[in-house]
Amino acid sequence: MVNCEVIDFKANKGNNIGYLVAIEGNNQIKFDIKRVYYILETPKSAVRGFHAHRELLQVLICIRGSIAVDCEDINGNIKRYILGDPTQGLFVGKMVWHTMEWLSEDAVLFVLASDFYNEDDYIRQYDKFITLSERRT
Ligand code: TYD
């Protein structure tokens, strides 16, 4: 199993004035949320990411539109997730090579992260990711 997991958030629905989704660190999210960032105005079909993190844990939430996330872990497990539901998040663990493809022009990716931005935590070369991985293939 790839080191990623879909999380269902509770949505406060049931009326006609929209709905609210509340997310708490160390509750629905299994880590302290130290940073939040979001990505928008990405053209349809554009692909971002192409990296893994050594230690960082993240939860990706597509709060508008739809985005495909391709994940590959250090054991060579690969899985594609389609995010199109703002009441769901995708946990992405450490050492997961991931790319995000914008399936719709209006898509907004909202990300919760376990730590501050640190470029040293990134692995941006796929070859390096493979070298550091423990896979035995
Ligand atoms: P990056 O993580 O490479 O984005 P993506 O994987 O979506 O393509 O980040 C893009 C740029 O933004 C890069 O120069 C680093 C910078 N950045 C920050 O300054 N702070 C942050 O919290 C993040 C996530 C990125």
The secondary structure of residue 38, as a DSSP letter, is E
Q: Which residue has the tokens 């660190």?
A: 25
- Euclidean distance between CA atoms 9 and 72, whole angstroms: 24
Atom of ligand 1 nearest to the CA of 119: 15
Ligand 1 centroid–CA 38 distance in Å is 10
98 is catalytic: no
pLDDT by residue (tens digit) across 8-35? 999 988 888 999 999 999 999 999 999 9
| Residue 37 Cβ contacting ligand 1 at under 6 Å | yes
Contact 53, 129 (CB under 8 A): no
pLDDT by residue (tens digit) across 28-77? 999 999 999 999 999 999 999 999 999 999 999 999 999 999 999 998 99
Rounded to the nearest 10 degrees, how much is the dihedral formed by the CA atoms of 51, 132, 120, 24? Answer: 60
Q: Which residue has the tokens 């090579």?
A: 97
**Which of 9, 126, 109, 118 is closest to 67 using CA atoms?**
109
> Atom 20, ligand 1: which residue's CA is nearest?
117
- Residue in 35, 36, 37, 100 to alter for ligand 1 test, most ligand atoms within 8 A of Cβ: 37
For every residue of 78-111, DSSP letters joined together read: EEEEEE--TTEEEEE-TTEEEEEEESSTT-EEEE
User: Model-level pTM greater than 0.85?
Assistant: yes
